Amino acid sequence: MIPMLDKIWFPLSLTLWIAAISSILVLCSGVTIAYVFARRDFRGKGLAELFVTLPLVLPPTVIGYLLVILVGRHGFLGQMIFNALGTGIMFTWQAAVIAAYTVSLPLMVHTAKAAIEGVDREIEYAAYILGKSELETVLQITLPLAKKGILAGLILSFARAIGEFGATLMLAGNIPGKTNTMSISIYSAFQAGNNELANLLVLILVFMSLLTIALTGRFVGKLEV
């Protein structure tokens, strides 16, 4: 049983770590993007929204391939990272964070955007009249009123990051003890014919997903607008 626990603990802790880091990045950037989409009109807005939405419809392997082109050793960002750090980012847990962030960002943006658009603009205008700056209005009025949607988007993004597979496999690889997340470990166990381990990992992942969904409904439902 102990050897089995060893095979479970690392992918479980790595998956939670990657999902947590990814969710923090998604929260910061996703809410900002959602606010711009909800409250600003600018040239190319439709194209920008399409670009952010694209990971929702593209196959994960395609997303992974595009990320390899972008942050791989010879990619535009990859070269910048290599020059700055002296090492590449592929086949590391940081690469898995990038993959999880990319596939989960659209969930946050679309959910938060809908919530922000639902905030009464008259309340924001009243805040401006009372002398609040736009930043103060966003932080003190808009985001608190949109907190249900933002929290729902955050939890959905966390759940998506937990289950990420295709893009992670392309960008971070399957290196035991280094980049083997829960989803990748299930794939490896199945390929190796270790159905006992695969079944156990699947049960844990399903439980985590159900728990996340249940907490979403319970916690969001208790929030007061």
CA 82 to chain centre: 24
Domains and CATH numbers, the chain: 1-220 (1.10.3720.10)
pLDDT tens sequence across 173-202: 999 889 999 999 999 999 999 999 999 999
Q: Compute CA distances 117 → 38, 110, 129, 140, whole Å.
A: 6, 11, 20, 16
- Asked whether 202 and 190 are in contact (CB, 8 A), the reply is no
- Asked whether 174 and 96 are in contact (CB, 8 A), the reply is no
pLDDT tens sequence across 135-147: 999 999 999 999 9
pLDDT tens sequence across 87-104: 888 899 999 999 999 999
pLDDT tens sequence across 22-31: 999 999 999 9
* HSE-up (13 A, CA, CB side) for residue 160: 23
